[in-house]
């Protein structure tokens, strides 16, 4: 990537763009990933396509909230801006600045809104409208969870090739549902089975 020195205005632009996405991210930060791609890769050329994809894949593989893919995008933007890993400590410092800018921007506006709104909702939890909201939304969000599991499996859509993956998902579903087996054992087993090339 080009290593043009980013100006203060560039960082501010990045911050403001992610801050506005924060308020649009209904259903999770990942729903704004297509727009981040358009902005970072297509419009500003701050990231390469493979860097964008690997940021998302890595954050899925690591433990923790999925929103950390945003931190990795910021990391790579900063690293590129600082001249890449070869450029030494200056590039790493820029990478950390990138993490700070993107992560704070994606969380701050939505967090202020959520915190204020839920405190209000909690004080007024006996209101009929507040109770109706929680009662009405409960079945919807449960269905969304099951749909998410479905969609994650549906990216592998060739029955002849992907049936072992589906079987693995089915086993994990049954084990979590019916047993108290620790979740980490299951993730670990998935990693081993995958590394051995069985799925």
Q: Which is nearer to other proteins, 8 or 122 (CB)?
A: 122
Stretch that binds other proteins, among 6-14, 33-41, 160-168 (CB under 8 A): 160-168
Stretch that binds other proteins, among 5-13, 34-42, 161-169 (CB under 8 A): 161-169
Is residue 98 within 8 A of residue 122, CB to CB? The reply is: no
**Under rule CB under 8 A, residue 4 binds other proteins:** no
Cα angle 83, 86, 87 (rounded to 5 degrees) comes to 50
Is residue 28 within 8 A of residue 66, CB to CB? The reply is: yes
Is residue 32 within 8 A of residue 25, CB to CB? The reply is: yes
Q: Which is nearer to other proteins, 16 or 192 (CB)?
A: 192
Burial of 145 (0-12, 13-18, 19+ CB in 10 A): exposed
Stretch that binds other proteins, among 1-9, 10-18, 39-47, 187-195 (CB under 8 A): 187-195
Query: Using CA atoms, how far apart are residues 26 and 144, in angstroms rounded to an integer?
Result: 13
What's the DSSP call for residue 127?
A: S
Q: What is the footprint of other proteins within residues 15-34 (CB under 8 A)?
A: 22-29, 31
Q: What is the footprint of other proteins within residues 41-80 (CB under 8 A)?
A: 54-55, 57-68, 71-72, 75-76
Shortest gap between Cβ of 178 and other proteins (angstroms)?
Answer: 9
């Amino acid at each position: 990537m080009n290593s043009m020195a980013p100006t203060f205005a560039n960082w501010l632009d990045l911050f403001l763009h992610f801050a506005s996405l924060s308020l649009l991210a209904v259903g999770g930060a990942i729903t704004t990933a297509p727009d981040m791609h358009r902005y970072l890769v297509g419009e500003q050329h701050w990231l390469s396509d493979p860097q964008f994809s690997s940021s998302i894949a890595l954050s899925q593989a690591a433990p923790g909230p999925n929103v950390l893919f945003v931190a990795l995008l910021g990391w790579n933007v900063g690293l590129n801006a600082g001249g890449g890993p070869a450029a030494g400590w200056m590039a790493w410092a820029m990478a950390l600045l990138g993490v700070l800018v993107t992560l704070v921007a994606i969380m701050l506006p939505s967090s202020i809104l959520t915190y204020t709104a839920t405190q209000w909702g909690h004080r007024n939890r006996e209101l009929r409208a507040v109770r109706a909201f929680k009662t009405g939304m409960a079945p919807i969000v449960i269905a969304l969870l099951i749909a998410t599991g479905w969609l994650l499996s549906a990216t592998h859509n060739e029955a002849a090739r992907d049936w072992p993956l589906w079987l693995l998902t089915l086993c994990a579903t049954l084990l979590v549902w019916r047993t108290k087996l620790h979740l980490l054992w299951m993730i670990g087993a998935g990693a081993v089975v995958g590394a051995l090339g069985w799925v």
